[in-house]
Amino acid sequence: MPAVKKRRKPAQAIDMTPYVDVIMLILTFFILTAQFKAQLTEDIQVKLPNSGNDTTKLPERNVMTLVINRFGDIFADVDNIKVREDVLGDPIGLAAYHPDSTTQPGWNNPANLNDKGELKRPIVAFSDREKFKKLLIDFRLSSKSNVGKDLRIVVKGDKEAEIGAVQDLMEILKETKNTRFAFVTDLETDEKKENK
């Protein structure tokens, strides 16, 4: 008797079109709802001082970051693009103030600039102390009107910065009634403690 040939069943084709559509919709949703923010740390490099074992969590949203670099420059930035554009007139701008009138600002130093001779973000420079104080107040007011929340203030200071620049910033914060802020430091590890 001849062997019976088994018929192969045609393979079931799965239509992938609906799956691709769903993936594209999810991807589009995440792209449109994500909040992109320009990173301040891209341009302003600071060496943070070491501290003990404080593990206070820094706020993630509605943050005004004040950075003091080793040249004594004070940079102000907010994480909300609408607030930044409302106050500075530039959605990626970075406010800068150099309190010492006898020295040049650090952002003019070629060592701090990229290949084209500029920072990655445009600098909005303030030479007058009163205008810089008004800027800090305007950031907070704009945040309250645009977001409905007050800004939380974070201060990052370079460990090589002059104490005078830090004192100037503390006075400016006191005069603008910004008395609640957090200093950012590096945690001191056990290895660093042993080396001292």
pLDDT given for residue 26 in this prediction: 93
pLDDT given for residue 82 in this prediction: 87
pLDDT given for residue 28 in this prediction: 92
In angstroms, the CA 99 to CA 154 distance is 19
**Which one, of 155, 159, 162, lies nearest residue 178 by Cα?**
155
pLDDT given for residue 123 in this prediction: 81
pLDDT given for residue 113 in this prediction: 55
DSSP state of 189: P
Q: Do residues 175 and 133 lie in contact, with contact meaning Cβ atoms separated by under 8 Å? A: yes
Residue 111, class by beta-carbon neighbours within 10 Å (0-12 exposed, 13-18 middle, 19+ buried)? exposed
pLDDT given for residue 41 in this prediction: 44
pLDDT given for residue 148 in this prediction: 84
Angle of helix 163-175 relative to helix 129-146, nearest 10 degrees, comes to 50
In angstroms, the CA 58 to CA 154 distance is 8
> Would you state the torsion angle of the CA atoms of residues 70, 94, 42, 182, taken in this order, to the nearest 10 degrees?
60
Domain ranges of the chain: 40-195
Per run of 10 residues, the mean pLDDT along the chain (length 196 residues) is: 72 83 91 64 67 72 86 86 87 84 69 58 84 90 86 86 86 88 73 50
Q: Do residues 92 and 38 lie in contact, with contact meaning Cβ atoms separated by under 8 Å? A: yes
In angstroms, the CA 45 to CA 195 distance is 25
pLDDT given for residue 96 in this prediction: 86
